[in-house]
Amino acid sequence: MIDKYVALDIETTGFNPVNDKILEIGAVKVKNGRVVDTFSELINPGIPVPWRITEVTGIDDSMVRGCDNVSVVLRKFLKFCDEDVILGHNLNFDYSFLAEKSAEIGMKFSKYGLDTLTMAKKHLKNLESRKLDYLCAYYGIEDKEHHRAYNDAGVTVELYKKLADLYEKEKDSVFIPVKMQYKPKKASPITPRQKTYLTDLIRYHRLEFNENINELSKSEASRWIDKILSTHGRIF
């Protein structure tokens, strides 16, 4: 078992690291088996929180409205991580978002990591599920607020300890940190047609719109247009 690492988890508005947003980052810094520091912050995504995400996480628009944006929170989080190895469950998902959003603000998130999902897939092949909540129940790990980032980061630490105690062997590759791989992509900018239509919708319905339309991506603009159409209707 490695003696120093940062266990992390994020909650997001969707599954695409380019087009979707980070809603929450939770992490615990572990040294010699003990938690020595913690990180937990909600993020204002600049777009409405999808209802399906609220159903799963409990995070809604009112909870993130007064929070910092991703640029502010990410800078603090990167400082928190320092040079440590990172740990997560299905770590590639979290890493792709963190690397993508770091690149978007002109920073770099490049890490070695360990994935408890990879460990479970190798050593717990006979279980019907290897999802984090299932594994917590299987091992009797207290999981109070599943699908909240800080909770999930904390229980991943306990899961890692359990799996390492049971299955870690010399040169077992799943217990050796590996260089994480993700090439950041750039989101497509809002199209001229979208910009015109969104502006017209806002004016027609006399809406308060606090986002900078010119800085929206194509997918963000599409979501705003769909939301306005479904809530207020078309231009007649």
Q: Are residues 41 and 12 in the same domain?
A: yes
Q: Are residues 196 and 175 in the same domain?
A: no
Radius of gyration of the chain (CA): 20
Q: Which residues contact 198 (CB under 8 A, 6 or more apart)?
A: 190, 213, 216, 221, 224, 225, 228
Q: Are residues 124 and 219 in the same domain?
A: no
Can you give the pTM of this predicted structure? 0.81
Q: Are residues 126 and 222 in the same domain?
A: no
pLDDT in tens, the chain (236 residues): 999 999 999 999 999 998 899 999 999 999 999 999 999 999 999 889 999 999 999 999 999 999 999 999 999 999 999 999 999 999 999 999 999 999 888 889 999 999 999 999 999 999 999 999 999 999 999 998 989 999 999 999 999 999 999 999 888 999 999 999 999 877 678 899 999 999 999 999 999 988 889 888 887 888 889 889 988 999 98
155 in a domain, yes or no? yes
Q: Are residues 157 and 202 in the same domain?
A: no
Q: Which domain holds residue 153?
A: 4-179
142 in a domain, yes or no? yes
User: Cβ distance 181 to 209 under 8 Å?
Assistant: no
